[in-house]
Structure 1
Amino acid sequence: MSGDDKKHDKKHDKKHDKKHDKKHDKNHDKKHETEAIDDVVTRLAKKFDGVPKEHVAKVVAEAYDGLQSAKLRDYIPVLVEHSAKQTLKNEKRKG
């Protein structure tokens, strides 16, 4: 294999590694985000003790669905929790 071929292969390997790392990071981030959303359901179910956990999960899922197109994913769990908590409080007030 010539020197140019080796350089090309090395360059190709680096590009492939970067793509693989990005894909791996996205999968890892998605898994982390999903776990964080599960934690939101658990916290809110404890906070709203009289509300069935299934309903809390539905409210959280609706809030989460509304943020699926967001580009910046870091704060999604916090925003979901805030939105779901407001919805649950409003439902409680309305009786």
Structure 2
Amino acid sequence: MDTPGEDQSVGQVIDRLAEKFPLLERDHIRDVVNQEHQVFAGKPIRDYVPVLVERQAKIRLKEDAANPPVRPRAEASTGATSSGRDA
């Protein structure tokens, strides 16, 4: 069972990791932290959960930062050409 203090600490983990990985979207960071937090759901000892969550999330986010997903360019999704004219 999460405690209000644990939830607050996990929120602070998200804030710290968002500062550490400014090129990654905050939503992605939050998702990774929440996934890592779920690993500890139902475990009886809660004192170190935020520290363990931050450690595991940081490992995953370092990998994500080193291999960012390829996103289509805005003009490719709108169908416009580089000259601005239709072919």
TM-score class, shorter-chain normalisation, is 0.7 to 0.9
Q: TM-score normalised to the size of structure 2?
A: 0.73
Q: Which residue is 1:40 aligned to?
A: 13
Superposed counterparts of 1:1-95, under 5 Å? 30-95=3-68
Once the two structures are TM-superposed, the CA of residue 57 in structure 1 deviates from its matched residue by 0.3
The two structures have a TM-score, normalised by structure 1, of 0.67
- AA matched with 2:29: V
Q: Cα distance, 1:93 vs. partner?
A: 2.4
Question: How many pairs does the alignment contain?
Answer: 68
Q: Which has the higher contact order (CA 8 A, sep 6+)?
A: 2
The structure with the largest alpha-carbon Rg is: 1
Gaps of 5+ in 1: 1-25
> Structure 2: how far apart are the matches of 1:91 and 1:70?
28
Structure 2: distance between partners of 1:32 and 1:94: 33
Higher helix fraction (1 or 2)? 1
Q: Deviations over 1:11-57 (max 9, x none)?
A: xxxxxxxxxxxxxxx8xx70000000000000000000011111100
* Unmatched runs of 5 consecutive residues or more in structure 2: 69-87
Matching residue's letter, 1:37? V
1:64 and 1:89 map into 2 onto residues whose CA distance is 17
2:42 match: secondary structure = coil
